[in-house]
Amino acid sequence: MSLLVVITVTLGIFYGILFNDNPIVANLDFLIQATLGFLLFFVGLDIGSNRSVFKGIKDKLFSVLVVTFSIILGSLTGGLITALVFSMSPGEGLAIAAGFGWYSLSGIILTNIGNAELGSIAFLSNVFRELITFLVVPIIAVKLNYLSAIGPAGATSMDTTLPIISKNTDSHTALVAFVNGLILTAIVPFLVPLLYTLF
């Protein structure tokens, strides 16, 4: 998945440079809006089709809430500190961090409500978050604890980084990771624009 992202972005950059007057480039706003709509629809479909997973959550609800709240708090704190260091507005830093690793959506949203530069920063920072997750999860699981290993993954703990979490932890942690990813994925579309607008 990560390799696919790198290849796709690289192809897009070259396409934009070589074919700047192409109708696709001229209608990017419409295409981005349409893509965003489809993306959100399929996210909702994915969440709705996994109703069975909630049957096993009752016993693990506390773990899920602690992990998810910690990820939100840690990510937003990091985003705020980064904004101060790099002379960005608090809203920009918070909104970028609120992508929680969901690079495709956060990049699109911030391109729409902000600008292309901000969207690119959101996209790349969340791509790097996913890449770093693959490297640090095995270390965190051994050096700290299993639940802490979910932290770097953010919203991706329900899909792309779930296998690495599951491999290095246990079934309890894998379920918590999956549900954490569902919750974060559900709030990203609302939290990113909200934080950008409020701050």
Q: What is the pLDDT of residues 69-109, one digit of tens each?
A: 999 999 999 999 999 999 999 999 999 999 998 888 888 89
HSE toward the beta carbon, residue 23, CA cutoff 13 A: 0
Rounded to whole angstroms, the Cα distance separating 103 from 18 reads 25
Average pLDDT over residues 7-20: 76
The identity of residue 29, as a single letter, is D
Confidence check: pLDDT of 1 > 60? no
Backbone torsion region of residue 115, taken as left when φ is above 0, otherwise alpha when ψ lies between -120 and 50, otherwise beta: beta
**Cβ-contact 71, 98 below 8 angstroms:** no
Backbone torsion region of residue 59, taken as left when φ is above 0, otherwise alpha when ψ lies between -120 and 50, otherwise beta: alpha
Boundaries of domain holding 151: 2-198
Greater model confidence, 40 or 92: 92
Read off the pTM.
Answer: 0.74
Token pair listed for 61: 């609800």
- Tens-place pLDDT, residues 154-185: 999 988 888 888 888 887 888 888 889 989 99
Rounded to whole angstroms, the Cα distance separating 169 from 141 reads 7
The number of domains in the chain is: 1
